[in-house]
Each structure stands twice: as C-alpha cells, then as structure tokens.
Chain A
Amino acid sequence: MSILQVSGLSRSFGGLRAVDGVGFGAEERGITAVIGPNGAGKTTLFNLISGSLMPDSGRVVFDGEDITGLKPFRVARRGISRTFQTVKLSRRMTALENVMIGRHVRSRAGFASGMLASPWAKKEERSIREEAMKAIELLGIADYRDKETGSLPFGIQRSVELARAIAAEPKLLLLDEPASGLNVRETRVLAELVSRIRGRGITILVVEHDMSLVMDISDEIVVLNFGKKLAQGKPREIQANREVIDIYLGEDDA
C-alpha cells in the first residue's frame, strides 16, 4: 500500500515548469528513489512534498490525509522527516543537542514549563535525551555526541542529520541527495545505514545522483526529466529502459 501518494503535482518558476504533473506512490516500508539529470525537478518535487514550496496544482496525500501546501513544521508533525542536500545542522550545538531537536515533534514542554523547570518538563527532557541517544547509537556516532557539529567531518555531519531525522520516529523519511559530498567508503556506510533505518519500518523516499547507490538500495525508481515523469519501475526495469538510458544514464553516469 502506498503511504505517500503524489498526483498531478506542478510548480513553475517564472516560465520554467520545474515540476510538471508528476504523480507516483511510495510503498510503505519500501525505498523509493527519484532520479533524473540536473534540473529535472527532483529537489523541487521534494520541497513540494515537505512543504517548503507550495504547488501550483496537484495533491500530496500522506497516510490517508491531504497534506498539500501544509507548512513544513506541520508536515513534520504528521510524521515526515527530512535531510538536506547541504547538511543543515546547528553548528554551535553538539551532535547530541542537534539530534534532540529531532525529538521536538515527539515532546510538548513549552516556554513556561521550560523556564520554571517543572518536574514533568525535566522528566520529558530526560526521555528526549534517551531517545536521541538511541538514534545516535543506531547510526554509530556515539563518539561524537558532545562535539559541536561545526567541527565534525562532513560524513559524520550527514550521520548526525540522519540521526536527527530518525529521532523523530517518522513514518516517512525524505533524503535529499544523501551521498553528495561523500567519498566511496562513506557512501557504502550510508547504504548500510539506510537499510538499517528501513529495517525499523520507516518508509524512505530518496533523491539521489549516485547511480550505484540508487540501484543498490531502491525497491522502486521514479525517473524525472524536464519536470515530467519519464519512467517508473524496479531498478532492473529502469536499467533496461531505452529512454532512460538515452536521457540520463547514457549522458551522465553510464
């Protein structure tokens, strides 16, 4: 069953139809990849789903509810977490603190209880810390928990961001080019982490450039070109698709 259903999604910037009538579904507990050449509209599509951009038309249905045009924080509260192409962490906060922000959607203490350090807020704070630690351990970055993230190697920063997303216990995880900026070894680690995350029952939608990674981890692949959906299918089918090879694999990576 599709947990995420996108239909007829369009968004233009000036005269450019960045995303043009795109529709697809993401199977629950599966890994769906969106690929396409530069400028195909992958990141725009992502931003339309996560609420960073408003679509001109079309619908995004998540978990049976219409979330089209909801603000990012509301989308996050529905159970969709994301990472960014360029890692977006609080550089002056420690890795643990960053991951604790991921628990924001799963906790409630506000200004007043925070200022008064009320007992229930402190209890909640302890559980935030514990759950964040679990995410940090899942991604194997416990050694870095007390380091400010600005000083960490890029690959570790990626993992911190991933841990932050996982800490929210999302139903759907959006990964925006998770392998960009990573070396071959780090990419292998990433592939391993992504399948570990999927093993926890989280549906994953990934936009990615790295073909070997996509073919490796995906159950389903959606190919975009000039804002339109060009093809959809299993990795084998996509690899054999003449059109895809011509416009994408042929020119870019193959």
Chain B
Amino acid sequence: MSIKPYLPVIALAVCAFLLPPVLTAAKSAFYLTQLTMSAYYALASLGLCALMGYAGQISLGQAGFFAIGGYASSFIATRNLQAIASSPLAKALDLAGLLSRGTDPYGVALLSLSPWVSCILAVLLAAAVAALIGMPVLKLKGHYLAMATLGFGLVIEKVVRGTKALGAADGLSNVPGFPILPGLVVTGGKAARASNFTISWVVLALALLALVNLFRSRAGRALRALHDGEEAAGANGVDTSRYKLNVFILGAVFAAVAGVLLTHYNGSIGPGEANVMKSVRYVAIVSVGGMANLTGTLIAGLLLNFLSLRGIFGSLDDAVFGIVLIFVMMLAPEGKAFGHSFSSFLRRKGRAG
C-alpha cells in the first residue's frame, strides 16, 4: 500500500502537536487562536469538497449547516433546567450523566444538558435537515441546484437573525466548553489555547483521513463516476439519487461538526456564520483548492481563513473571496488551479501575446 495519499493527514497530525511548542518558543502563540478557527472552517470546506469537487453537486448552503450545528448545540447547552431540576426526567438524565452544572457570569446556578448531548443532537439535526432538503433539491442540476441551495442558505440566515430565542442579531453567547475527554475541553481562553489547537487539527486530520479513505473506496469511486455522468453511473448499478443524498448529508455533517466545535471554542455564535457570503467562501476555497482535491482544499481553507481572521484583507474581506472565485472560474473552472490547467493557461496567453 502506498503511503503517498496519506502524507497530508500525517503532516496535519504532526503540526497538531508540533506547532504549539514551536509558536510558543517563537513568542507567537497568539497565532494558535486563528489557526484553531481556520481548522474548523477548513473542516466545513472539506465536507463541501466531497460534495462539490468529487460528486459534482454544488451547494451554496454550506454555511447554513454550519450555523444549524453551532446554533442548535448552543441553544440546547444554554437552556437552564434548574426550574425542572426535581422532575423525574431531569433526575433520570442526571443519573445517566447527561446533565452538567455550572454558574453563569452573575453567579446564578445553572443546570443544563451536557455539551455531549447538545453536540450530538445538533449534528443529528443538521443531518436530518440535509436529508429533508436534499431529497427534493438534489434532483436539480447545475445552476438550479446552486439557486435552490442558495435559497436554503438564505432561509437559515433569516431564521437565525429573526428568531428571538436564538438571540436575533446578537446570536447566542455564554456557550459552555465541551469536554471531549477528561481534561480536554473545547473552550476559549489563553490556558486552553494550545490544547484546543491540537484538538482542532487532530479533528481535521481525522476528517481528512476519512475522506482520503472514502475516495479510494467503492463508494468514492461511485461518487466520482456520477460526477462524470449520471447515466453511465446508473447503468453500472450506482443508485445515483441515494449516493447524492448520502454525500450531501456527509457534507452537512462536516459543516455541523465544524459549527459545533467552533461555537463551543468561541463560547458564542452570531448570525454572521449563517451569512450566504460564508457559503460563497466555502465554494471559493474548494474551487481554488482544485475542486476534486482534498489537499488543495485543506491548504486553501487553512491559509485563506487564517489570513482573513488575521485581518489581512481589511474591509475587503468578502471581496477577496469573490475575486478569488471569479479568477478560478475564468482560469480553471474544472479545478487544478495551481496545477496543469493553470500553467497551460499561462502558456496559451504567453503564446498569444
């Protein structure tokens, strides 16, 4: 078995453990915060890469699923169940270890569902919504699919922005940390900075590993085949509707997991995460990464988000991603922006000029 397809996974895992001490020694540990956030955005991009790059189904609703994950988990984890603490249901949940206790910033005692419960429910909700939306919408192709998923993204944005229970324009805050393992909590704050960077990059490495495996397997091959022609894929026994739905749900789950983890890391989420411009970003990242190219998407996702979070693009932040998209579509709509087709484009121009 060749190790080459797994090199990016190994590189990510090595960075996950190596970068914190290195950056700390270089007195630049503050970068870890943005690198952690970039990892979660890159995770959502990887999900879209599977859907769009490999299976050829565009979605302008990826931010919607990200937001569903983040909002659902925050909403559930911040419900104070103190009022029903003595009810049999609450007692049963407590016995099962599904409740967690804390105090809010004003010292009021809190009793809430454990973040484990809220996270799992949030991801399941995103998967269910994806299944519900995907079934009718994935019958569409090309521009029509783009429009329909854009519509979905707009609806989610308007819903979170307009719902009081979800904090309307302010979003939800005071989201508790998410203890994944004893002593390992997804949460902000300086003390947890290095460990959270490691968590996020390990999660990203595992997600990448799963996708590398997938696209070297029977199901991944079927997805690539349906990208190249649904008629031929169907004639070879691929249930194209089911495969499209499955990969749509897979992409949504990746986005939701990213949304959940970033929200618990930040301790808050706002309607900006559901903004359609965020979906455009994910599409731009997959495109500039070379479409059916997991490593390209990964690098583009980490790099562009890191630069954006560092504020390099200033007030042109969204514009940069729009411009990236325009250039990719002009130069290499089929992908390989940094590989063969981009260089052949330059050669062609060179000869013409």
**CA distance in complex: A72, B234 (Å):** 6
The listed residue with most B CB atoms (<10 A of its CB), out of A50, A52, A73, A103, is A73
Does the CB pair B228–A115 fall under 8 Å?
no
* Interface presence of B318 (CB below 8 A): no
* A91-B228, A104-B218 known; A115 vs B234 contact (CB < 8 Å): no
Does the CB pair A76–B229 fall under 8 Å?
no
* A90-B225, A109-B218 known; A114 vs B246 contact (CB < 8 Å): no
Q: How many A-B residue pairs have CB under 8 A?
A: 103
- Distance (whole angstroms) from the CB of B215 to the closest CB of chain A: 8
**CA distance in complex: A72, B231 (Å):** 8
Q: Which of B219, B224, B231, B247 contacts A90 (CB under 8 A)?
A: B224
Does the CB pair A97–B221 fall under 8 Å?
yes
**CA distance in complex: A219, B225 (Å):** 34
Task: List A contacts of B213 (CB < 8 A).
Answer: 114-117
* Interface presence of A188 (CB below 8 A): no
Task: List A contacts of B220 (CB < 8 A).
Answer: 114
**CA distance in complex: A77, B238 (Å):** 9
Task: List A contacts of B292 (CB < 8 A).
Answer: 92
Does the CB pair B217–A121 fall under 8 Å?
yes
Does the CB pair B221–A100 fall under 8 Å?
yes
* A115-B213, A125-B218 known; A104 vs B238 contact (CB < 8 Å): yes
Report the contact-size class of chain A (Cβ under 8 Å from the partner).
35 or more
Does the CB pair B237–A105 fall under 8 Å?
yes
* Interface presence of A59 (CB below 8 A): no
The listed residue with most B CB atoms (<10 A of its CB), out of A77, A91, A111, is A111
- Distance (whole angstroms) from the CB of A83 to the closest CB of chain B: 9
* Interface presence of B232 (CB below 8 A): yes
A72-87 residues with Cβ-Cβ distance < 8 A to B are 72-73, 76-77, 81-82, 84
A107-129 residues with Cβ-Cβ distance < 8 A to B are 107-111, 113-117, 121, 124-125, 128
CB-CB nearest in chain B for A82? B235
* Interface presence of B14 (CB below 8 A): no
**CA distance in complex: A111, B233 (Å):** 16
Does the CB pair A73–B238 fall under 8 Å?
yes
Taking chain B's interface residues, is the majority helix, strand, or loop, or is none over half, making it mixed?
A: helix
Does the CB pair A84–B232 fall under 8 Å?
yes
* Interface presence of A200 (CB below 8 A): no
* A90-B225, A104-B218, A121-B217 known; A111 vs B250 contact (CB < 8 Å): yes
* A97-B221, A125-B217 known; A104 vs B237 contact (CB < 8 Å): yes
* Interface presence of B87 (CB below 8 A): no
B303-344 residues with Cβ-Cβ distance < 8 A to A are none
Task: List A contacts of B231 (CB < 8 A).
Answer: 52, 72, 84, 88
* Interface presence of B210 (CB below 8 A): yes
* Interface presence of B67 (CB below 8 A): no
* Interface presence of A45 (CB below 8 A): no
**CA distance in complex: A75, B214 (Å):** 26
**CA distance in complex: A105, B221 (Å):** 13
* Interface presence of B114 (CB below 8 A): no
**CA distance in complex: A100, B222 (Å):** 10
- Distance (whole angstroms) from the CB of A118 to the closest CB of chain B: 9
Does the CB pair B237–A77 fall under 8 Å?
yes
B189-240 residues with Cβ-Cβ distance < 8 A to A are 210-211, 213-214, 216-222, 224-225, 227-229, 231-240
Task: List A contacts of B246 (CB < 8 A).
Answer: 111
CB-CB nearest in chain A for B213? A117
Does the CB pair B218–A73 fall under 8 Å?
no
* A92-B228, A111-B250 known; A105 vs B236 contact (CB < 8 Å): yes
Q: Which of B217, B222, B232, B237 contacts A89 (CB under 8 A)?
A: B232
The 6 closest A-B pairs by CB, nearest first: A114-B217, A105-B237, A88-B232, A76-B237, A90-B228, A115-B210
21 A-B pairs whose Cβ atoms sit less than 8 Å apart in the complex: A73-B234, A81-B236, A82-B235, A84-B232, A88-B232, A88-B235, A101-B225, A101-B233, A101-B236, A102-B236, A103-B218, A105-B236, A109-B219, A114-B219, A114-B220, A115-B214, A116-B210, A116-B213, A117-B217, A121-B217, A164-B236
- A residues contacting B by CB (< 8 A) are 50, 52, 71-73, 76-77, 81-82, 84, 88-93, 97, 100-105, 107-111, 113-117, 121, 124-125, 128, 164, 168
- B residues contacting A by CB (< 8 A) are 210-211, 213-214, 216-222, 224-225, 227-229, 231-240, 246-247, 250, 292
